Amino acid sequence: MIARPFSWIQPIGIRISAATNGNEAERGPVKSPGYVCERKDLLVNGCCNVNVPGTKQYCCDGCLTNGCCSAYEHCVSCCLQPNKQLLLERFLNRAAVAFQNLFMAVEDHFELCLAKCRTSSQSVQHENTYRDPIAKYCYGESPPELFPA
Domain limits, the chain: 30-138
pTM of the entire structure?
Answer: 0.75
Report the share of the chain in percent with pLDDT over 90: 19
- What is the full DSSP assignment across 8-42? -SPPTT-B----SSHHHHHH--EETTTEE--GGGB
Cβ-in-10-Å burial (0-12, 13-18, 19+) of 83 comes to exposed
Strand order across the beta sheet in which 56-57 lies: 30-31, 35-36, 56-57
| Chain segment 78-114, per-residue pLDDT in tens | 999 989 988 888 887 776 665 666 666 777 888 889 8
